[in-house]
Amino acid sequence: MRRFTGRSRDMQRLRRHLDSVTRDGQGRLLSVRGRRQAGKSRLVTEFADRTKLPQFFFTGSRLANQKEELSRLAMEAARSSLPGASLFEGVTLDGWAGAFQLIAAALPDGPAIVILDEFPWLCESTPGLEGALQVAWDRVLEARPALFILIGSDISMMEALSTYERPLFGRIKEMVVNPFELADTAAMIGASDPAVAVDAQLITGGYPRICAEWRGASDAQAFFGQQLSDENSDLIDVGRNVLAAEFPPDLQATRVLTVIGGGKRTNKKIAEVAGVREAPLARSLETLREAKRMIAVDRPVSLRPRNDPRYRVADSYLRFWLRFIGPSLPDIARGRPDLALERVRHWWPEYRGRAVEPLVRQSLERIAATDPVLAGAGVIGAYWTRASDVEVDIVGVDQWPGARSIAVVGSIKWREHAPFDRQDLAALSVHQSHLPGADSARLIAVSRSGCTADVHRGYGPADLIDAWRS
């Protein structure tokens, strides 16, 4: 099995839930959700193994029926480390109510861990599963000192478990597992150059399976060469599998997502390229934003709020995949990965300059807690005019929405070799003059290759990584 890296905060959160079980002597029901391939199952498995406690781990199968699932559950429970595992030997379970009763009987008097992975698939095979779990929880399971974990990648379904009028309302705790953050990605790929680690985050999105493939690649270009030469590489397969699991191929929202991933960010441009009218587009955008969590919406941050949204793919790996990998699949499949590689290498510097901006802003928000230069910048956003003739990469305000003061204004230049220089500073000053309320704001620069201009502070790749270490 691959070496387990990072996830210290996630491990601590799981440990707190288990400590509650141990301290109170009562069961705890925990929902763990996150994007497919984000590393949820690996995290929970590693945590359970480290505790050395009795455990039972069961994974649901897609499209299996209830009888098949329960038969497999009995066989796997009989092989588990629960002290009463032998209770499942030769048993034919006729429903989930009986399964939960038997699990309760197999638990020890002390702490234990029970995990149901792919819980949404189990619910598909048994529509009444939530209700059966609620009854078993109230009658027997809550009284046993076990951490009962439900794992799922259907984010909207897993979120709904804890909502009002659902069977598990008021009984379940929640935990979200995201792909690796920047510092964990840097550790996973073993990069000595912080700039390479930032590139890796933009390409892999922190998906552990893809990060593991980076080891041995000196930089992004070497990684592209390795991965695009194999049509079944993880860089190609993970995105294909995530999208296939989330969307039917003919769904209109899929087309809209593809257009956004291709670089179209405004309502007008998305509608034109996707060929979608205003009302259907609004529905697709809502699906992608609320139900699927696939896109993020940015709005210009200033003291005079304006509704001029720009859309982007929230997941940096899926954004990269939709921009470069998806359109290249036919070439890769017919044995011409060189064409795909040529496109990626040609457009990568320009793409990277835009793709890094959300990561920079998120990192600066974390740095602001301890950096006096960023004092007063509770939220970091960007500003643009409707005509896009004025764009400010970094706008740090006291709060958003409802900003009352602008503390920081800055520019992001993520060039391979050229530093942020006096010409860049002059351009930033011009744009600053068009931003209402920014006259006294401190000026900062974020650059891949250093800063030679006179700003309050310059930040680089190492600063971004350090922001995610705490």
Give per-residue pLDDT as tens, 201-228.
Answer: 999 999 999 999 997 789 999 999 999 9
Question: How is residue 325 written in tokens?
Answer: 């990998």
* 448 pLDDT above the threshold of 90: yes
Domain map of the chain by residue range? 8-176, 182-354, 355-467
Angle at 191 between CA 38 and CA 374, to 5 degrees: 80
| φ, ψ at 314 (rounded to 5°) | -70, -35
The pLDDT-based confidence of 249 (bands split at 50, 70, 90) is low
Tens of pLDDT, residues 92-140: 999 999 999 999 999 999 999 999 999 999 998 888 999 999 999 999 9
Specify the pairing of strand 406-413 against strand 442-447. parallel
**8-176 topology per CATH:** Rossmann fold (3.40.50)
Structural domain 182-354, CATH architecture: Orthogonal Bundle (1.10)
Q: What is the DSSP letter of 451?
A: B
Task: Give 349-415 as a 3 state SS string.
Answer: HHHHHHHHHHHHHHHHHHHCCCCHHHCCCCEEEEEECCCCCCEEEEEEECCCCCCCCEEEEEEEECC
* DSSP bridge partners of 381: 395
Quickly tell me which residue has 């509650």 as its tokens: 20
Higher pLDDT, 36 or 74: 74
* 25 pLDDT above the threshold of 60: yes
Cα separation, 428 vs 444, in Å, equals 10
pLDDT for residue 250: 62
Tens of pLDDT, residues 401-435: 999 999 999 999 999 999 999 999 999 999 999 99
* 235 pLDDT above the threshold of 90: yes
Q: Average pLDDT of the chain?
A: 93
Residue range 278-288: average pLDDT? 91
* DSSP bridge partners of 115: 57, 149
pLDDT for residue 133: 96
pLDDT for residue 470: 66
Tens of pLDDT, residues 257-270: 999 999 999 999 99
Residue range 76-89: average pLDDT? 96
How many residues appear in the chain?
470
